[in-house]
Structure 1
Amino acid sequence: MVCVVGNRVRAAIIRGRQITGLASEVMAELVAEVGPLWHERHQAGLASRARRRAVGAGAKRKLVFVDRLLATLVHLRHGATHDVLACWFGVDRSTVTRAIGEVRPLLSERGCTIAPGVRLRSLAEVVDYLGASGQTGIIDGTEIRVRRPAAGSKDREKFISGKNGQNVVKSMVVTDAGGRLLFCSPAQPASCADITHARQLGLVKLLADGPVVEILADAGYQGLGAQTGGGVVTPPHRKFKKDAPDWYEEMHERRRKAHSSRRIRVEHGIAHLKKWRALARHHGRREHMTDTVQAIADLLSHQQTITLAADERM
């Protein structure tokens, strides 16, 4: 098997953003941060089981960590299959599958980057960050199509979305007022309503017990405003369902558009997420969706932080 990705190709991939979607600065930080974690887990795995040979003996790995990271990024960014990646790197398909399975969880554990060395890994940290900085947060749910469970499997219908009838999972996305990603929740079957998902994540308790924070949301979260003391702001209710006076229609439409114009930034953040083909439609195991969503959110937020810092220096 011929390896297509040589040293020159590898260097070109790292320098440019066409393939990975990440700047060279982000790639360098990923290698420096995730590489030692991967090596540590690899050595711990070798030492955790009974062996006839010493650790490090035997056949050597064909893929160095940089190639494992590149294979994972190309898979997430462009949805390249494991067979194609195996041809590129000159290894077996199982090697690529194992490499992605090792690197993807490491990426998902990093958390969303909001400043160099500062990351948010939970919804509680997001609420504290918004309260301390006095910023407004925006939440919305996004759906990702997945493979339908096999016939006869348990809870087969729970992945069907009431919105479009497709088999999907959903994740709650949190951005700031500028659309920068702050958090992506673990994936849930689509039969779970947006407001129920927010409650299960503990948003109501966090806003009740934590700092004063304003969270903008769409009509799918109506009801949270009363439970959070006005912390969650949703579109205004209609007082007249029919035969409304003209002045009320004009006022209601003006208020609705004002709320929508403030909340639209979360849609932009979700659109940036969906540019990664692994989230356009997921063909792999549904059990990997949480790691996939959070890994892409972490990578995208890191790139957004680097871009924002570069813009401020100019």
Structure 2
Amino acid sequence: MESVSRAVIVRSSRVTGLTMDVIAELVAELGPLWASQRLRRLTGRPRIRAVGAGARYRLVFVDRLLATLVHLRHGVTHDVLACWFGVDRSTVTRAIGEIRPLLAQRGCRVEPGAQLRSLGEVIEYLGVSGRTAIIDATEVRVRRPAAGTDSRDRYVSGKSKQNAIKALIITDEEGHLLFAGALRPGSCPDITQARDAGLVTLLHQASGLTILADAGYQGLGAQTGGQVITPPHRKFKKNPPAWWEESFSRHRRAHASRRIRVEHGIAHLKNWRALARHHGRRELLDEIVPAVAGLVAAGQASAPPAVAAG
């Protein structure tokens, strides 16, 4: 790819969703990993030609990274990227297949030198830093499984009535992403997803944490010693007293205003077209969700702090 076109992609954050500084960090971090991965692949089998012989790659590492970022950000097809970068479609497909796992392994950066790659690391970080976290789930629409597939209806969401895969999202009180993963079919309840991810066990091993959640997680508070805080229950189903209804509404609004930041974090994720609706294989979301979450977290960590209005 011509250096002029590459510079245009890097300079415009609208194309990749990232600033030049974040892209430079990705190149410095993932470049050696990609090179070592390629060397292992070349030396891991019997060869006739020496390592390094043959034609040079037409799609260098930087272009492979940019193609993957554009694909995740805008959902651009491999055919279009192949025309854009002047290579064959199979080259783009292979490049994205190499870069995407490296992005997924990065985790969410919360501060320089600190990457959170698993739910256990998130809980440990919250325990050390003393921060309050917010938990929620978001759904990514996927293609319906083929007719005759076992458990075909498992992906039908009870909320959206569409085929979807549900991801567990954790942010801090400012909406900065800490974790995205623990994927489950769309029919899985939010509280079951959190239990299956091991959240209850991890909170038993920690103490003094505060995690805000919506009504879909009611019941986790009793199981975690009050560390998961959910909206109050409605005690009166019919004809509640006016004073109680006012108090109930006030507490629910106060709780919702505290946990609204997780919705902002989910919105940042959905700005990446790969998570707005997934048209590929469902298995790829195991890589796409943490990869996009890591990119969003990197962008949030590099953004200048907001200045409060005076």
Other-structure match for 1:254: 250
Other-structure match for 2:2: 6
Give the distance between the partners of 2:17 and 2:2, measured in 1 at CA.
Answer: 20
Q: Is the 8 A contact 1:134 1:213 kept in 2?
A: yes
SS in 2 for 1:142: strand
Other-structure match for 2:132: 136
2:49 to 37, 41, 53: 53
Q: What letter is aligned with 1:214?
A: T
Other-structure match for 1:209: 205
1:75 aligns with 2:71: yes
1:179 aligns with 2:175: yes
Give how far 1:309 is off. 5.8
Other-structure match for 1:269: 265
Other-structure match for 1:218: 214
Could you tell me the percent identity over the aligned residues?
A: 63
Change (3 A) 1:201 1:279: same
User: Normalising by structure 2, what TM-score?
Assistant: 0.97
Q: Is the 8 A contact 1:207 1:228 kept in 2?
A: yes
1:125 aligns with 2:121: yes
Give the distance between the partners of 1:256 and 1:117, measured in 2 at CA.
Answer: 38
Q: Is the 8 A contact 2:71 2:77 kept in 1?
A: yes
Give how far 1:6 is off. 1.7
Q: What letter is aligned with 1:57?
A: A
Q: Is the 8 A contact 2:168 2:180 kept in 1?
A: yes
SS in 1 for 2:140: strand
Give the distance between the partners of 1:187 and 1:68, measured in 2 at CA.
Answer: 27
Q: Is the 8 A contact 1:138 1:263 kept in 2?
A: yes
Q: What letter is aligned with 1:11?
A: A
Unaligned runs of 5+ in 1: none
Give the distance between the partners of 1:50 and 1:151, measured in 2 at CA.
Answer: 43
Q: Is the 8 A contact 1:127 1:211 kept in 2?
A: no
Other-structure match for 2:279: 283
2:31 to 30, 35, 51: 35
Give how far 1:87 is off. 0.3
SS in 1 for 2:168: strand
Give how far 1:60 is off. 2.6
Q: What letter is aligned with 2:291?
A: A
Give the distance between the partners of 1:83 and 1:154, measured in 2 at CA.
Answer: 32
Give the distance between the partners of 1:308 and 1:235, measured in 2 at CA.
Answer: 33
Give how far 1:123 is off. 1.0
Change (3 A) 1:83 1:15: same
Other-structure match for 2:303: 307
Q: What letter is aligned with 1:22?
A: L
Q: Is the 8 A contact 1:158 1:189 kept in 2?
A: yes
Q: Is the 8 A contact 1:143 1:169 kept in 2?
A: yes
RMSD of the alignment, in Å?
1.4
Q: Is the 8 A contact 1:186 1:294 kept in 2?
A: no
- In the TM superposition, structure 1's runs of 4+ consecutive aligned residues that sit over 6 Å from their partners are none
Give how far 1:59 is off. 3.1
Q: What letter is aligned with 2:152?
A: R
Q: Is the 8 A contact 1:113 1:120 kept in 2?
A: yes
SS in 2 for 1:187: strand
Give the distance between the partners of 1:308 and 1:130, measured in 2 at CA.
Answer: 22
What number of residue pairs does the alignment pair up?
A: 308
Mapping 1:90-169, distance limit 5 Å: 90-169=86-165
Give the distance between the partners of 1:167 and 1:243, measured in 2 at CA.
Answer: 38
Unaligned runs of 5+ in 2: none
SS in 2 for 1:173: strand
Give how far 1:211 is off. 2.9
Give the distance between the partners of 1:211 and 1:51, measured in 2 at CA.
Answer: 55
**What are the Cα deviations for residues 268-298 of structure 1, in whole angstroms up to 9, with x where unaligned?**
0000110000101011111110111110100
Give how far 1:58 is off. 2.4
Q: What letter is aligned with 2:77?
A: T
Q: What letter is aligned with 1:127?
A: I
